[in-house]
Amino acid sequence: MKVIIINSVVDYGSTGKIVRDLYDELKNEGNEVKMVYGRHEPKDLVDTFDISDRFSSMIHLGMSRFFGGHGLHSNKATKNLIAYIESFNPDLIHLHNLHGYYLNVPMLFDFLNKRPDIKIVWTLHDCWAFSGSSAYFSFDGCQKWDDGCVICNNTSTYPKTIAKGKQERNFKWKKDKFTQINDMVIVTPSDWLKDLTEKTFLKKYPIKRIYNGFDTNVFNPAEKVNTDKKIILGVSNIWEKRKGLDDFIKLNELISDEYQIMLIGLSEKQIKELPSNIIGIERTDNIEELVSLYSSAYVYLNLSVEETLGMTTIESIACGTPVIVYNQTAVPEVVNDCVGFVVEAGDVKQLWSLIENTDFDGYNSDELREYGLKFDKKNMVNNYINTYKQLLGENDESNSTRRI
């Protein structure tokens, strides 16, 4: 099997790690695999192809920001990609994030439409594919819904634009281009996003849910760091309003001296602006440090109101720490009574009452760990490879894996 995986990044962030995990297993099975990216150099360049044009990407960003043209530029980079695909001649292409200022998306889909021999799997990590503007629109909502979110109420979120009037145009070309492929399977990382996608123009395709996975040999209970206070932990790659930063600050005004809030992934500016008694830490690539903090926390909070899954929540559970999440989008999907609580979004008083009146030290770490193992990356990768084989007509039912 010859496979090309296309994503904005490799090895960087959650989607970049997924790309690497898929590559590793496919190679282990003896397949030919290439990874194409447009931003951030991978840790290992073997079997990678960088199609980015730095100047073109900057132009693309500017055209997106001022004229609402996200996904409509980077022509040279896309021509390079098409030439690379033709040269490698894959059996299957696995698409991930096509947004990111590095691809002319209609140009790519026009080419794929002319190559019906190439099967397509497309993992949607957000809602950009069927939105007039934003990658996430649940928090702000839409003014119009017609087989997708046509006009977002807020265009200042990624990919940011001041050209609000271009949303109907953008929605039209997405609907036209994304529905012209014959053999394509859509994958979502949660049932919530699957249900949403089934209400859009992409409903013409098979839509499968495959949970994202991570290395549970790395994310497991570690030796706890001794702390004077009970740590209430929050982790995010980017902290913004939809991620619940404001609610953590409100919670900080309620908690007693027995507790302390710790937030990981903040910018230097955000750390300076925090109340002095909140511990703020910048984003870390030191996994051992992150696992230690997960394991040492009294409780983990995910106060985001917009997530297509919420991997930090599951990482905490796998490290033996119980969680509390808001009842919004996909996050409640991964929480049951054995691992924590789901509370009303924005009700910080209820949140504090729950923390104050619950013995989180009494949770069974073995049960938490066992639950977290369901999200091991091996399950994710095997489910994807089975999807590839089914699409190519090569699936052997005797090798099928348990779906979670």
Spell out the CATH class of 230-375.
alpha beta
The whole-model pTM stands at 0.93
H helix or E strand, kind and range, residue 81: helix 75-88
In angstroms, what CA-CA distances link 13 with 90, 262, 311, 330? 26, 21, 11, 19
CATH classification number, 2-213+377-399, choose in 3.40.50.980, 3.20.20.70, 3.40.50.2000, 3.40.190.10: 3.40.50.2000
Tokens 């995986």 belong to 5
Topology match between the domains 2-213+377-399 and 230-375: yes
Domain extent listing, the chain:
2-213+377-399, 230-375
Q: How confident is the prediction along the chain (404 residues), in pLDDT tens digits per residue?
A: 999 999 999 999 899 999 999 999 999 999 999 999 999 999 999 999 999 888 889 999 999 999 999 999 999 999 999 999 999 999 999 999 999 999 999 999 999 999 999 999 999 999 999 999 999 999 999 999 999 999 999 999 999 999 999 999 999 999 999 999 999 999 999 999 999 999 999 999 999 999 999 999 999 999 888 789 999 999 998 898 899 999 999 999 999 999 999 999 999 999 999 999 999 999 888 899 999 999 999 999 999 999 999 999 999 999 999 999 999 999 999 999 999 999 999 999 999 999 999 999 999 999 999 999 999 999 999 999 999 999 999 865 434 433 33
Q: Which two tokens stand for residue 349?
A: 């008083």
What gap in Å lies between CA 42 and CA 45, rounded to an integer? 6
Q: Which two tokens stand for residue 19?
A: 């790309």
- 149-152/142-145 β-pairing: antiparallel
SS (H, E, C) 238-306: CCCHHHCHHHHHHHHCCCCCCEEEEEEEECHHHHHHCCCCCEEEECCCCHHHHHHHHHHCCEEEECCCC
Around Cβ 140, how many Cβ atoms within 10 Å?
Answer: 17
What gap in Å lies between CA 335 and CA 73, rounded to an integer? 40
